[in-house]
Structure 1
Amino acid sequence: MTAAMFFGEVRRHWLLFGAVVATCVGIGVGVSVLTPARYVSTTQLLVSSHASVTATSYDESAAVWDRVNSYVALLTSDVVGQRVVDALGLPMSAKEFAADVNPTIVPPRTSVIDVAVSAGSPEEAQRRADAVAGEFVTYTKALEGPAGVDSQRIETTVVSAASEPHRSLPGTWAFALLGLVTGLVLGCVAVWIRSRLDPVVRTPDRAAGVSGLPVVGTVVHGPVTGEDNEGYFRLRARLRTVPGRPGAHAESRMWVITSAAGEAVEASDVATNLGRVLARYGDHVLLVRTADSDPGDDGPGLSDVLTGPDRIDQSIRVEAAGSPDLLPAGSAADVHELLVGGGMRELVTRLRGRYRHLVVDSEPVLSTPSAEVLSEYADGVLVVVVTGTTTRRDLAAAVDRLRAIDAPLTGIVACEPSVTGPAEVLPPAATGSDRDVPNKLQV
């Protein structure tokens, strides 16, 4: 998935994305509000040695370092904690108080110990830090005892009094910002999962990704307006670059318009509109139906021509200039059964000699084998995908069927909802007496 496709998914699922972000920000603010405020004050202790003249510098450093490591553990002991609790009259146990004391050695390998003490208020944190330092110095003096003649004497002194207290946790804005960053990440993950699990094709890019075919055009549902015709103009330009079928008429092209499963109406609209656009520019176009798309159309058509080739002139309806001629499906119920055989091949050959474009409106691939049979004679097969309706499973299955018979797959035509006004009738662009001669090929 490219970055453009992903941001398109974010825009499409903006409610999900926004809900995840808002939830994370709310959780961050809620944690900040519900978590009791804690303040930390820090004091520093220095451990030093006073040795006799016979003691070496190495012995002195080793003794101090041993004491520093021991004192770090001792600062959180019950003994020291109980001394502070008793001195300040705190309503807690020694273990509870020790949990609020955090001693650390100032790096690298020094004899200075930072003692951080936390409490519920700034004043209390500072008072407890000073008390810890004082009680620990008094305790270590008694613990070390008097020194002998050649003995070393270890002393602990307060280097700095309790510092100005600060909050142990960030404020509300910091939690909100953290929630926002987390929400953006989780929102992207949620959108990605949602898009991967979505069974429906919702964008042309997703249709291309599922089918492995290029998107040769993006058009709208139903009759088109002047603005919507741009998609069909672009589609016409793309089709003009498609090479003809080997052995077929050099100037004629046959296009099979089909769909995956349940998009027959939209595919029929695409075939009709494409035929109109091709004819509007002067091309001699025949629109061929393989299914009854018009309930009132009960005249002869394709099935009648296949059973009696001499009826072709009676079955083709010659329309006005700028519109495609029409060959309806005919009276037979199952036209696709008549498409197999020499009759259809002969008919296509005759029609190629009379028309510049044959636009065949075929039934869905997964419904009947019409598109598979017709692809044998076609220069290109266009698969119509209705965004928001066509499922990924149906699209993939339909394309696989067409690929299995080496159909000349040209690409995907993405059909999207129209956001413009009422449809308008396009004026004809081609005039002249050529339209009165149905067997004359216009190039």
Structure 2
Amino acid sequence: MNGSEFLSAVRRRWRLFVAVVVACAAIGVGCALVVPAGYVSTVQLLVAIDGTTTASAYENDQVVSGRVNSYVALLTSEAVAQRVVDELGLTTSARELAGDVNATIVPPRTAVIDVAVTGESPDQARLLADTVAREFITYTDALESPTGTDDQKIRTSIVTTASVPRAGLPRPLTFGVLGALVGLVLGSVAVWLRSSTDPVIRTSERAAAATGLPVIGSVTHADPAGGEDLEGYRRLRTRLRALAGGAGEPAERARVWVLTCAAGESGGAAVAPNLGRALAVRGGRVIVVDANPAGPAIADESDPGLLQVLAGSATADQAIRCHLDGLPDVLPVGSCADDPGDLMAAAGMRRLVHRLRLEYSHVVIAAPPVLPTVGASVVSEYADGVLLVVVPGTTRRRELTRAVERLGTTDAPVIGTVMCVEPSGPAVPERAAVPRSGSAVDVESDELPPVAR
């Protein structure tokens, strides 16, 4: 997942992201309220060389500098803390007390050490600071030995006694900010994990990853006469023309495009009539064939229809609904007592598609879903290209992958996927029908790069 995909995932799952950040900040504030804020008292120590000076001043500075660095570590050690615990008879452990001691060198590069000690009350903080200073001096005096033959020795002295204790940092605010920072990291991880394991396709990148096929278009359910919603069909039409132009077959041969989905998302029924209308705008006759008996109808459900033609109870001329004004003709699905899958697998379907190739420049077939039935695989045998319609937020990744695998076993020419998103305007009716009247919209702008097969 690259940066743009991650930002897109955060926008889609902003509630999860914000919930994690707020939860971590609340936990931080809660911890601050439970743990006492404490009081801090400071004491300053000076490290110097005592005795007659026989070494140079530079050498003395080097010795003191080394000792100061070592003393900062010793001040926060359990060895010094244990001496304080023993001296005051405290019930806390040496490790706990050492965690309440903080030692820093007063900048820049001095021999003065600031020691800050935290206690539960002002009196305790001040007592601990003074005791830490005394016990540390006693401890280091016992460790130090003369640095030369003249009894020169490192000594530590108290510069300032324990200061008036001050309240600790505002723990709720501090811990809340720290919790929010941790929440940003955890929220990002949560969004990444949720996106990586999401079983539903939500973006074109996920669709391409699940199928191994390019996404050749993004369209809406809307009627293509609806202005901006037509742009997606323009682009899809241009890419299909690029694919058809690269096929190397005679121009008079019609192209058969099959639109199907993985498991019944009804995307084909929404896209097929709109794509047919977009293709019809550029001239030539176009027909939309409804081959999905179980899906939403794309035309009037009155008989006769495709199934009656395949069963021999009606002719194609009787079933085809012819339209004028640049609109595509429609062959509705109809109804029949026989099994639709068997009818589509029979020779009649092949003869019908051959006839439509001769009479039309484009044949758009809305096929049944791939997984529940064999209809899509059967119809795809006659296609120049199969388009898998993906409905973001509905199509499941595993089903989409299985659909591609099943079509691959039949050598169906699956050329890519089409994302069928919600329209930007009003809600789309459940049954998308090809309009019977109205003028076509001029869609001459088709500037898109060709799509490689």
What TM-score, normalized by structure 2, do the two folds share? 0.74
- Paired residue for 2:175? 175
Distance 1:41 1:26, change over 3 A: same
Counterpart of 1:314 in structure 2 is 318
Return closer, same or farther for 1:46/1:74 CA change in 2, 3 Å cut-off.
farther
Which runs of 5 or more structure 1 residues have no equivalent in the other structure? 86-90, 432-443
Between the aligned partners of 1:94 and 1:334, the Cα distance in structure 2 is 83
Q: Write out aligned runs for 1:262-273 (5 A).
A: 262-263=264-265, 265-273=266-274
Q: Does the alignment pair 1:427 with 2:438?
A: yes
Q: Which amino acid aligns with 1:323?
A: L
Aligned length: 416
CA distance in 2, matches of 1:208, 1:80: 67
When residues 137 and 420 of structure 1 are mapped into structure 2, their CA distance, relative to the original with a 3 A threshold, is: closer
Matched letter for residue 439 of structure 2:
P
> Which stretch of the first structure deviates more once superposed, 166-175 or 249-258?
166-175
- Give the corresponding residue for 1:358: 363
Tell me the residue number matched to 1:299.
304
CA distance in 1, matches of 2:6, 2:143: 67
1:50 and 1:122 map into 2 onto residues whose CA distance is 38
Aligned to 2:451: none
Q: Does the aligned pair in 2 maintain the 1:302–1:327 contact within 8 Å?
A: no
1:436 aligned partner: none
Residue 43 of structure 1 corresponds to 44
Partner of residue 188, structure 2:
188
**Alignment partner of 1:229 is 2:230:** yes
Q: Is 1:290 matched up with 2:295?
A: no
Alignment-mate amino acid for residue 286 of structure 2: V
Alignment of 1:93-132 (within 5 A): 99=98, 100=100, 115-121=115-121, 125-126=125-126, 128-132=128-132
Could you tell me which amino acid in structure 2 is paired with residue 282 of structure 1? G
Give 3-state SS (helix, strand or coil) of 1:118's partner: strand
Deviation at 1:21, TM superposition (A): 0.8
In 2 relative to 1, CA 396–40 (structure 1 residues): closer, same or farther, beyond 3 Å? farther
Equivalence for 2:405: 400
The whole-number CA distance in structure 1 between the counterparts of 2:259 and 2:74 is: 85
Contact 1:303–1:332 (CA under 8 A) maintained in structure 2: no
Q: Equivalent residue for 1:435? A: none
Question: What CA distance in whole angstroms lies between the structure 2 residues aligned with 1:159 and 1:303?
Answer: 105
Q: Provide the C-alpha distance between the structure 1 equivalents of 2:354 and 2:143, rounded to a whole number of angstroms.
A: 111
Cα distance change on mapping 1:284 and 1:159 into 2, 3 Å: same
- 1:190 CA drift (Å): 0.9
Amino acid at match of 1:429: A
Comparing 418-427 and 324-333, the one that deviates more: 418-427
Tell me the residue number matched to 2:215: 215
Mapping for residues 153-164 of structure 1, pairs under 5 Å: 156-162=156-162
Alignment partner of 1:240: what SS? helix
Percent of aligned pairs sharing the same letter? 44
Q: Give CA-to-partner distance per residue, 1:254-313, whole Å, 9 cap, x none.
A: 1001111112x33112112211222244331111222335483321535525759x9333
How far did residue 143 of structure 1 move?
Answer: 11
Match of 1:254 among 253, 256, 262: 256
- 1:438 aligned residue: none
**More displaced, 131-140 or 357-366?**
131-140
> Paired residue for 1:325?
329
* Larger Cα-atom Rg: 1
Is the partner of 1:234 in helix, strand or coil? helix
SS in structure 2 opposite 1:241?
A: helix
5+ residue gaps, structure 2, are 443-453
The residue type equivalent to 1:253 in the other structure is: R
Are the aligned partners of 2:380 and 2:412 in contact in 1 as well (CA < 8 Å)?
A: yes
Distance in 1 separating the partners of 2:157 and 2:248: 99
> What is the CA–CA distance in structure 2 between the aligned matches of 1:215 and 1:71, rounded to whole Å?
65
Q: Aligned equivalents of 2:311 and 2:329: distance in 1?
A: 18
CA 364–94 in structure 1, closer or farther in 2 if over 3 Å, else same? closer
Aligned CA-pair RMSD = 4.4
Deviation by residue 1:75-116 (Cα, 9 ceiling, x = unmatched): 726555555x3xxxxx84596796555678999x99877644
- Tell me what 2:341 maps to: 336
